[in-house]
Chain A
Amino acid sequence: MARVVVDVMPKPEILDPQGQAVANALPRLGFSGIGSVRQGKHFELEVDDSVDDATLAKIAETFLANPVVEDWVVRRVES
């Protein structure tokens, strides 16, 4: 078994109102110096060794992310 991490982020040109709301809240909470925030999703998958990178990429591209508005990165983490 290996641990695989998939990070999904809104594309840079796509408006991210959730990230903006977090960024706007920070000064109100007394935290200064944060220029901007982008909010995405982080998935951790426990994966059999038989699952190859192409399959993982397909899972990310066709299900975990919507490539119209999101970028994704797949990383294998040592188990």
Chain B
Amino acid sequence: MSKIGVITFPGTLDDVDAARAVTYAGAEAVSLWHADADLRGVEAVVVPGGFSYGDYLRCGAIARFAPVMTEVVAAAAKGMPVLGICNGFQILCEAGLLPGVLIRNQGLHFVCRDQWLRVENASSAWTSRYEQGAEILVPLKSGEGCYVAEKSTVDELEGEGRVVFRYVGGNPNGSTNDIAGVSSANGRVVGLMPHPEHAIDALTGPSDDGLGLILSVLDSLVAA
């Protein structure tokens, strides 16, 4: 059975739902602790949402220096798939695994709603189960989700198909080009602000559209 790690920092909220999504997809969820420089033999890592270190200084700025992140960065360099959700996306940006940064929402409102996204790239390690251009409904809940990067970086992301998810039906936070999620150049590291781990069962979420991310990465692990 494939093992997928889920990191817990002080202030992480969504590690339980992320682990539940991993289990739903038929893999073994392995808890990873921020202070341990040990990935416990996992084949992929989910950096879940929340408010690591109270969002002090900047979202993700302190979590990026946690011992476990040193291991994640090293493993990602060797091709291990990494998914950052919400605060996890912010952490991956601060850690340099993904370009750009997430800043305060335009209009300052914390946005909490079910959000439609379009899958713009169905070839990343975390999106291969989706049809290109598919629209999925997952919860969004963030106050600092406005994606910003240098113009040359945004042009590069757009040109290389590295905008993986885009908001549809209205931009919730002022994000550049309606960007909801991006990937690394090799498509193995993906970050997005909305929460696919909250949308894995119609009983507890707006859809089960989010489970496809975990199923996709499991496909990539089996194929590897």
Contacts and interface: CB of A to CB of B under 8 A. Distances in A.
Contact of A18 (B61, B100, B108, B146): B108
Interface residues of A, number: 11
Contacts of A31: none
A25 B174 CA distance: 21
Main secondary structure of the interface of B (DSSP, over half): loop
B57 A21 contact: no
Contact of A69 (B103, B107, B174): B103
A68 B108 contact: no
Contacts, number: 32
Nearest to A67: B101
B94 A66 contact: yes
B148 A17 contact: no
Nearest to A39: B104
Interface string B149-168: 11000000000000000000
Nearest to B108: A17
Contact of A68 (B101, B104, B106): B101
Interface residues of B, number: 17
Given A15-B148, A66-B58, A69-B103, 15 more contacts: A10-B103, A14-B103, A14-B148, A15-B106, A15-B174, A17-B105, A17-B106, A17-B108, A18-B108, A21-B108, A63-B57, A64-B57, A66-B61, A66-B94, A68-B100
Main secondary structure of the interface of A (DSSP, over half): mixed
Interface in A43-59: none
16 contacts: A10-B103, A14-B148, A15-B103, A15-B146, A17-B106, A17-B107, A18-B104, A18-B108, A63-B57, A63-B61, A66-B58, A66-B61, A68-B149, A68-B150, A69-B101, A69-B148
Interface in A1-32: 10, 14-15, 17-18, 21
